[in-house]
Amino acid sequence: MSEEFDIKEISASFDIKSLLLKILAYWPLFLISLAIGFTIAYYINVRKLPVYSMDTLISIKDDQNPFFTSNTSLTFNWGGTTDKVNTAIINLTSRSHNEKVVERLQYYMDYLKDGEYQQVNAYKKTPFLVEVDTSGVQIVGKQFKIVFKDSVTYTLSSVFEGNSESLQNYHTKEKTTQFIEAQKFSREYKLGEKVKLPFLRVTLVPFEEVEVVPGVPYYISFYNFDGIVGRYSKVDVSPESRGGSVLKLLLSGANKAQLVDYLNASVAVLSEDMLERKNLFATKTIRFIDSSLTEKSRELGNVEDELNAFRSKNEIFNLETEGQEISAKLNALDLRKEDIERETNYYNTLEDYLVNRTDYRNVPAPSVAGIQEGSIIGGVGRIVSLAEERNKLQYSYREGAPVFADIDRRIDAVKRVLLENIRSSKELKNQELSSINSNIGQYESEIRGLPKEQQELLKIQRRYNLSEGTYNLFLSKRSEAGLVKAANVSDVLVIDSAKDTGGGQIGPNTQMNYIIALLLGILIPLMFIILRMFFSTKVTTIKDVEQNTKIPILGVIGKSYLENNLAVVTKPKSAVAEGFRALRSSLQFMYKKQGVTGAKTVLVTSSVSGEGKTFTSINIASVFALSEKKTVLLGLDLRRPKIFDDFEINNKVGVVNYLIEDASIDEIIQKTKVGHLDVITSGPVPPNPSELLMGENMSRLIDELKEQYDYIILDTPPLGLVADALELLKYADATIYMVRQNYTKKGMFDIVNEKYRTGEITNISIVMNFFEEKAKYGYGYGYGYGGYGYGKYGNGYHQNAKKPSLLTRIKNIFKR
């Protein structure tokens, strides 16, 4: 034929309705998937432990010491409240801070008891508390069972499997290993009795709030210290308002009492640390002065003994009036000179410290040397504050992090200014010292005019007065520092301490689990269906046929649930039988259009075996016979003869016998139980079926049959497997090419398309077999091919075979 066409031309339109119907047709799959999803969600939800959230509110205030004056120089507020708030936030989440809290509360140990589905946290829900002896090691990761025999006696037990166990000393944090022989360890102890074992050193003391119940098991276990600290370092700390000084601490966990204690302890540790930092200068000053006072006290005693001895020996107890005046003036100059030298020495020490060291936390306090200059006091205080902040951050950030670079930059800026102020101050002190030395020299020259005994007494008196003045100065500074330290209060104000007031549960989010189950229950089968549709290579819809070939569709045959092929004879009122009647009408229309008169032939073929070729041949022959037309069914599939079983006839003599001239036509024709229908089976399988079908005897057979019958139905081999069907096409007035839903592959159309395009095959039509009118194939009722598709309106007219059960159909879905 001359018509040219593109058999792969596919419509660009997208049928959303068809896609939705296909998806909805898999509703059993969705139902099963959702049932599994909700079952899993329920199983998870009933076994999930409740999660609680506790919080506390604190304020970082700016409490100035009421005793702070410009003379004390022992307390500072560098950076204001904002800097303190930021520092507090960093401290609360730092490792060093949380290490102190975990160590104080001994949270590296867990209390457990049996719950409904699993062990649950039993902190403060046990009739005992555990006091850990931190001087010894504790086994890590091993659970110990505690069962009370009475109100005092309990059994401590555990199972060892003969492995090397990890141990940790919670004081030094040192980790070791120890091999423990395989054993079922069990010992009895009493409350208050120390447990001293190579791998466990604890004491169980009564907890009066929980009553002892004999026989109820409790459990304790120890964990890696660093791991526990890392868990609690995740406490959420945030300002209540932007730029505000009120902080909210939030912590989540499985035990409310444990959360409450941790938050309150964390605030207490923060308060102590901030107060200690606030008292830093005063503490260092008191420590230095205490050591200096001891030395000055000894020095003053020695000079006093020397003065008394001199007076007794020389019987001189007082200086003359002139000597007293000179002594008073020299004493004042000596004290001032010592002050200047002490301040100058401090400047030299501070300068050397700033130039040659990198850790500024131990910078000497200016107050120790009596420095009153505001720029020096401010600079030193600022450097110490930044050094303390940097030290805190080392537990939360790695060295080299940008936050360290920022702090180092700020320290360097303060240091440059401080070094410049030190140089200026030293110049002024040196000038003042030169003036004092000049005045001292003048008075010392006047002393030489006094009697020798008076001169000696004056020298000793000068040393005594100098020692006494220095001693009194240190006493004053000591008292001042103690007063400042005693008056300091922490800048942490607790607004709302953590407290279990009921509620507080934030999880588990069971509703979310059900939502996830719903989504997964829909998405998983949906993805399966879409992927199955995308990668499907089989014909499932009429549209698939239309997109892969230009050969016209003659009809559609429904799916038969009968055990044999005699659908029209066995169930004449079924939808399948109606499909064949419609196919009969379409064939008669084709014959009329082609002008075929007399006997008419129908050839039935397919791509491969299993597509319903024999089923269709038998039922087309049956439907013609039932219309009282003399019909013969000719089995020409010589390789795989089939048609004789359904008619309960034998295959001993058939077409092969006639073609080899071993039997006459009358000998090969067999009557059937269907009126007007005869069958010629293929007979014994020959070695050369193609050659037999190509011979003249085949033409003679067809001619003889046309003289006796109105319709001749040719059941031939598959067109895509052997060449036999091609040899028989010349005898066909109409050719039916069978396509089976969900069986025939789209690529199988290539052979018949090529032959149709070149004109080797004419008068060919497609019949879709084993077709189910289901939405998943995108083909609903009433397509228009034949009488198939009455739907619910066909009730009473169609006698359909019983469909398989729902369970069987579901199994079939998974098989496909």
User: Mind listing the pLDDT tens digit for each residue in 329-353?
Assistant: 777 777 777 778 778 887 887 888 7
Q: What is the pLDDT of residue 788?
A: 37
Query: Which residues, 6 or more positions from 272, have their beta carbon under 8 angstroms from its beta carbon?
Result: 490
Tokens of 59: 């304020």
pLDDT-derived band at 791 (thresholds 50, 70, 90) equals: very low
Return the H-helix or E-strand segment holding 634. strand 631-635
Least confident span in 73-87, 155-169, 532-546, 629-643: 73-87
Whether the Cβ atoms of residue 469 and residue 335 lie closer than 8 Å to each other: yes
Q: Give φ, ψ of 393 to 5 degrees.
A: -70, -20
With helix as H, strand as E and coil as C, how does 268-302 read? HHHHHHHHHHHCHHHHHHHHHHHHHHHHHHHHHHH
Q: List where CATH 3.40.50.300 sits in the chain.
A: 539-815
Q: What is the pLDDT of residue 203?
A: 96
pTM for the whole thing? 0.54
**Has residue 135 got a pLDDT over 50?**
yes
Helix ranges restricted to H, 357-401: 374-393
- Report how far apart, in Å, the C-alpha atoms of 539 and of each of 7, 548, 745 are: 15, 9, 6
Q: What is the pLDDT of residue 461?
A: 67
Query: Which residues, 6 or more positions from 145, have their beta carbon under 8 angstroms from its beta carbon?
Result: 155, 156, 157, 158, 217, 218, 219
Topology of domain 539-815, CATH = Rossmann fold (3.40.50)
Q: What is the pLDDT of residue 428?
A: 84
Of 68 and 616, the structure prediction assigns the larger pLDDT to: 616
**Has residue 77 got a pLDDT over 60?**
no
First to last CA, the chain: 39
pLDDT-derived band at 66 (thresholds 50, 70, 90) equals: very low
The mean predicted confidence, pLDDT, of the chain is 81
Cα–Cα dist 623/577, whole Å: 8
**Has residue 11 got a pLDDT over 60?**
no
Of 38 and 22, the structure prediction assigns the larger pLDDT to: 38
Tokens of 683: 């007979």
Q: What is the pLDDT of residue 313?
A: 64
Q: Give φ, ψ of 638 to 5 degrees.
A: -70, -20
Cα–Cα dist 357/760, whole Å: 101
pLDDT, average across residues 500-505: 85
Most confident of 310-314, 542-546, 687-691, 765-769: 765-769
Q: Indicate the SS3 state at residue 68.
A: coil
pLDDT, average across residues 226-236: 91
Of 23 and 624, the structure prediction assigns the larger pLDDT to: 624
98-114 residue pLDDT tens: 999 999 999 999 999 99
Q: What is the pLDDT of residue 12?
A: 42
pLDDT, average across residues 728-738: 91
764-783 residue pLDDT tens: 999 999 887 654 444 443 33
Chain centroid to CA 150: how far? 46
251-264 residue pLDDT tens: 999 899 999 999 99
Q: What is the pLDDT of residue 18?
A: 72
| Neighbour-count burial of 663, counting CB atoms closer than 10 A to its CB (0-12 exposed, 13-18 middle, 19+ buried) | middle
Whether the Cβ atoms of residue 146 and residue 118 lie closer than 8 Å to each other: no
Q: Indicate the SS3 state at residue 313.
A: helix
Q: Indicate the SS3 state at residue 717.
A: coil
Tokens of 280: 């830093």
Q: What is the pLDDT of residue 628?
A: 92
Of 635 and 17, the structure prediction assigns the larger pLDDT to: 635
Whether the Cβ atoms of residue 735 and residue 763 lie closer than 8 Å to each other: yes
DSSP string across 749-782: HHHHHHHHHHTSS-SEEEEEEEE---GGGT--S-
pLDDT, average across residues 545-553: 90
391-420 residue pLDDT tens: 767 656 666 777 778 888 888 888 888 888
418-466 residue pLDDT tens: 888 888 888 888 887 888 878 777 766 666 666 666 666 666 766 677 6
**Has residue 751 got a pLDDT over 80?**
yes
Query: Which residues, 6 or more positions from 219, have their beta carbon under 8 angstroms from its beta carbon?
Result: 111, 112, 113, 119, 122, 143, 144, 145, 146
**Has residue 222 got a pLDDT over 60?**
yes
Q: What is the pLDDT of residue 486?
A: 62
Most confident of 69-78, 472-481, 624-633: 624-633
Residues forming a β-bridge with 139: 167
